[in-house]
Amino acid sequence: MPSLRNVALTAPYFHNAAAATLEEAVRVMGLYQLGLELPAQDVDLIVKFLGTLNSEMAP
């Protein structure tokens, strides 16, 4: 399983780059994995959480 470290810095998302933003990727995954259209507030909170996983990139 790939790490989520720095996921907010690695756009585009998915193997075919179908999601240009992390927000879009979260919405798509909510639909496909949970069968739900996530409310905008939930998408925002998930994206904020994923942003906390950023760290300094090694040179």
Q: What would the pLDDT profile of 4-53 be if each residue is shown by its tens digit?
A: 999 999 999 999 999 999 999 999 999 999 999 999 999 999 999 999 99
CA distance 46 to 34: 14
User: CB neighbours (10 Å) of residue 13?
Assistant: 19
**End-to-end CA separation in angstroms for the chain:** 24
DSSP type of residue 32: I
- Residue 23: which of 6, 40, 37 has the closest Cα? 40
Q: Is 80 exceeded by the pLDDT of residue 57?
A: no
Q: Which residue has the tokens 């496909």?
A: 32
CA distance 24 to 54: 19
